Structure 1
Amino acid sequence: MLLDPYYIQQDSNITISAEQASIFAKKECQDFNPIHDPDSKRFCVPGDLLFSLALKEYGVSKSMSFTFTNMVGDNIPLTFPEATSDDIVVTNAQGKSVLEINKSGEMTQDLDLIESLIKNYVVFSGQNFPTLLMPLMKKHQVMFNPARPLVMYNSMSFEFDSLTLTNPLRVELAESKLEVESKRANEFLHFDIYDGDKIIGRGIKTVVVGGLKPYDHDAITAFADNYLANRNAF
């Protein structure tokens, strides 16, 4: 499966190395957020990888929400429990919640649908910076600190009208918003899920942008140029 190179199954636990997490972010999501670099002091496993592992484990339900409650570090054992109800809590070795899932409605374990949703969603999700976030920061005249960028996945949810596909699935942005609150902002990325030309689902990704400061076009552009250079080099 698509995810096999990016985790290790150890008895009932899953572990993800910093290297595996970083390669997933860069290769599958085209996400070069420094927080996913193995040598980052604030390293954490990408939320998109945890989301993807949850779909592998629990399938796709018509309605699902995912809330990221704690950061996951290098080689931290994670427990994805048996789905005995519609509310699921993924925990770390200390028993602390790292991902909370709610699901409802019809469910499918169709591997083609699961992999298609993972592939298309994580690429959409990974384009947040600079493609989606830069224009929003410019509009609101704020930005994160380029020396200590803090852009953290908070949650995502989606709803399907139908889990039966007749064409290749794709995910596209529907609307983006930034709500600024003093030194932080909440970014909302609304997206549509297509089966061919027909919208069969919709969802929203929320991101927290911390350490806000006044917008400096030259500084944030230099950061973005370096970010894109790293992406192109990879």
Structure 2
Amino acid sequence: MLLESYYTKYENIVRITAEQASDFAKQQCHDFNPLHDPDNKRFCVPGDLLFALALYEYGVSESMSFTFTNMVGANMGIIFPEADSEHIIITNEQGKSVLEIKKDGNTSHDPVLIESLIKNYVVFSGQNFPTLLMPLMKKHNVMFNPARPLVMYNSMSLEFESLSLNNPLHVELSDAYFEVEPKRADSFLNFDIFDGQKVIGKGIKKLIVAGLKPYDHERISAFSLAYESRRSAF
């Protein structure tokens, strides 16, 4: 199974170590966001790993939305409830919501579809920076603080026309835009899901870019080069 090395489960409680979370971000998503480094004081488990675990647990529905309500720290106990409802709340051991899922329509538990969607979506998702965010920040003349980058996964929604897969699945960006406030920006990444050459689904990913500063091409370019160097070295 694709995820078996990235978490442990005892009875009904899932735990993810900092190293497992960091490995998933780097190995599966090609994501080197410093928030997922084990030694980062603000470390959190990647939202894409929680999303992937949720698909294994609940399948892929024709309409799904995922809202990340609280950060998940290293070794935090997470409970994925047994549920067949349209609204699922995933909590920590203290009962605090960390991920809320709404789903509607038919549901597929086809392991080929689930693994293909996970593999292709998380690689797309891991392109947040610098590939997808750099042009948006430049366009709006803002950027995050390179000394304390804070880019957080807020939510994502999926809509499928078909849950049958006949060809290799892939995900492509269709549109991207920023909504800028004084100290933060909401970034929206629209994407298409293809079965071969046919679009079978669409989605929107929302990110929060916090701690905005005026755009400084030299500083953000240096950060981008260092980021790409980490990715290449890995």
Q: Give the alignment's TM-score, normalised by structure 2.
A: 0.99
SS at match of 1:83: coil
How far, CA to CA, are the matches of 2:166 and 2:20 in structure 1?
33
Where does residue 89 of structure 1 map in the other structure?
89
Amino acid in structure 2 at the alignment position of 1:90? I
Where does residue 218 of structure 1 map in the other structure?
218
SS at match of 1:22: helix
How far, CA to CA, are the matches of 1:155 and 1:182 in structure 2?
21
C-alpha displacement of 1:79 = 0.2
C-alpha displacement of 1:220 = 0.3
C-alpha displacement of 1:85 = 1.0
Tell whether 2:96 aligns with 1:103: no
Where does residue 184 of structure 2 map in the other structure?
184
SS at match of 1:162: coil
Moved over 3 A (4+): none
Deviations 1:33-56 (A, max 9, x none): 000000000000000000000000
The 5 Å alignment of 1:121-140 reads 121-140=121-140
SS at match of 2:78: coil
Where does residue 16 of structure 1 map in the other structure?
16
The 5 Å alignment of 1:39-188 reads 39-188=39-188
- Identity among equivalent positions (%) equals 69
How far, CA to CA, are the matches of 1:118 and 1:133 in structure 2?
22
CA RMSD of aligned residues (A): 0.5
How many residue pairs get aligned? The number is: 234
C-alpha displacement of 1:84 = 3.4
How far, CA to CA, are the matches of 1:67 and 1:34 in structure 2?
21
Where does residue 25 of structure 2 map in the other structure?
25
SS at match of 1:61: strand
How far, CA to CA, are the matches of 2:131 and 2:166 in structure 1?
30
C-alpha displacement of 1:231 = 0.3
C-alpha displacement of 1:10 = 1.1
Deviations 1:158-189 (A, max 9, x none): 01000011111110000000110111000000
Amino acid in structure 2 at the alignment position of 1:6? Y
How far, CA to CA, are the matches of 2:162 and 2:130 in structure 1?
32
Amino acid in structure 1 at the alignment position of 2:92? N
C-alpha displacement of 1:83 = 1.1
How far, CA to CA, are the matches of 1:126 and 1:195 in structure 2?
21
Amino acid in structure 2 at the alignment position of 1:117? L
C-alpha displacement of 1:225 = 0.4
SS at match of 1:166: coil
How far, CA to CA, are the matches of 1:84 and 1:231 in structure 2?
39
Amino acid in structure 2 at the alignment position of 1:177? Y
Deviations 1:41-79 (A, max 9, x none): 000000000000000000001110000000000000000
